[in-house]
Structure 1
Amino acid sequence: MTRVVVALDSFKGSIGAAAAVDAVAHGWREVDPDAVVRSRPMADGGEGTLDAFAAAVPGATRMPVTVRGPHGRDVAASWLLLPDRKGAGASEGTGATGVVELASTSGIELLGAERCPWDADTFGFGQAIAAALDHGVDRLVLGIGSSASTDGGVGLLVALGAAFVDADGRAVAPGARGMAEVAAVDLTGLRPLPPGGAMVLTDVTNPLVGPRGAAAVFGPQKGVTGDEVPVVDAALARLAGAMGGDPAAPGAGAAGGTGFALARWGARLRPGADDVAALIGLDEALADADLVITGEGSFDGQSAAGKVPSLVASRARAAGVSVALVAGRVAPDADTSAFVAVVALAELAGSAEASFADPAPWLRAAGRYLASR
């Protein structure tokens, strides 16, 4: 009986990690129905992070919550409660972990074609974090990809008890519009971190301000025009001066400055792949596996630098398990020497456009191909 672990990252903009893993697993079982296929989707912090954890962690429970979305209207969302696991528990409280995703509470996908560059904020994300804290979780895992706003994280901190006022002492409006009016910050009412702290999942290392900062690099994606970028950048700089903290820290510019706000709260910003692997039990799944299949949307020369495929391949080698790669595309400069097999969906589909538009059938085809080798 063959034992296979499928541990893919999301294929950004195309398909989430959980759905990608499910498609590859389905294809494998079409050829080898008796195989033991263990799904371990890897979360990267963006859209689909909750789905990835829910698929990988037995006993994970979705906790419904209604929050104020980036457009100012109510959004039905949820956070994920992970039960305590051996080796991942804490000494106090429930020992459980709360996973909260910005994408489903304050994310750009919630806006559709609409963009609200001056008014969208992260208040709903903060509300979901507060709900997890109210439940009594011992630690938080926070995914901050797919943000709709450039509010410096003001919204989420307000939801957690902080106060931001203008020169007249009035609470500032939501979003970048209000952030530009901040004259004073009071963090004394900010809720404390849970006993086990908070880990922030982001693969963004940009600082808060400057030519590589949140406004310059990510603002245009959210509707900030070229003339407005310097205005928003200056507002972020003033906010950092009022709040304290390190605006130059790697990741401070993630999610429109949400990384900066979370670091100021005391959360740890890190790529997170190692921590995610521990939470989903990757090493345990690999212990008796015959093959692990990993991958991501685009495997290129940078993929060896801490991204999911390299992490999974390293863990597999340590366990003496062979590794196969499935990617949307494989760049000519990519080093694929660690893999016993490589499948590029673009080649299966005939073009990168075809595989990107409808990846699931080609992921199933990749599973069938690997099972038939």
Structure 2
Amino acid sequence: MSKPATPVAPPLKDELDIVIPTIRNLDFLEMWRPFFEPYHLIIVQDGDPSKIIKVPEGFDYELYNRNDINRILGPKASCISFKDSACRCFGFLVSKKKYIFTIDDDCFVAKDPSGKEINALAQHIQNLLSPSTPLFFNTLYDPFREGADFVRGYPFSMREGVPTAVSHGLWLNIPDYDAPTQLVKPRERNTRYVDAVLTIPKGTLFPMCGMNLAFNRELIGPAMYFGLMGDGQPIGRYDDMWAGWCTKVITDHLGLGVKTGLPYIWHSKASNPFVNLKKEYKGIYWQEDIIPFFQSVTLPKECTTVQKCYIELSKLVMEKLGPIDPYFQKLADAMVTWIDAWDELNSPQSAPAAADGKDGSSSKKK
């Protein structure tokens, strides 16, 4: 008689929070239940705080709405975007865990070419727990994956790699396109599953998408600020881009790594390209100045922490991008406010901030 299999504990169960921004009931969690149910969820409700968001039974979660954000942050709540998925970074702020996985509510479980459902969270964890190689490119992709290694000619002195701060996942079905590309390719779908993970080289920027993203909060958390976007701002849909540019400059400076590739999720619906164009059009112009700015940024050696790097970056944003538009002056100020809020909520003395059930919010345990 064979022994029953010993249950395998989910990886990093007590060290990882899943952050989800939403304006609707979270029925999509049913599909993710086998993978997400053991973990703690932080749900950031955008828009009308009086609306009741329903979460399927059995999940361990906290739910924060705009009233909670105002209550917890006070005047500093001005740095958290409203009516934009950038509000997710509030979840990063109040988490007390080492790792964060964040996903959008229109993203579902994808299948690999064999038809097996992909556990995106497990792949992100694998990426974060293995080193990155930003200093020298390995042509056989990630040398730390099973079945791969460093190729001939790779310097032995660099084979230890560096700690991985960010794991950036991709999408099947609806690609993450900007509005002009959506308009000219309305029926395009991504059907290619590429079984690869790459380290983004040092000195190279990338367009970071927040809908399937994980990071080591202790290594890079304060840089994961999704900017001032959405309601009352002249720009939207650049929140994750902004966080990605800032994060990459800081990881390069601090000797950390960023991986991209696996895991895939299934992105279920394309947003309206005309609405997107209205949100993006200033960003499309501005990015032609923003990208060269980030490419030329050099942080002083005195910047030895993420917070110090981010404050220095905010000064450079004010100085170099401020003259382009007053929005960047406002954004630079918000970057400082964000760091103040981060330090306040994450100091050793601060108690965990919880949604207390007031003002339409709810907190529910499994």
Which structure would you say has the larger RCO, counting Cα contacts within 8 Å and 6 or more residues apart? 2
TM-score by length of 2: 0.28
TM-score by length of 1: 0.28
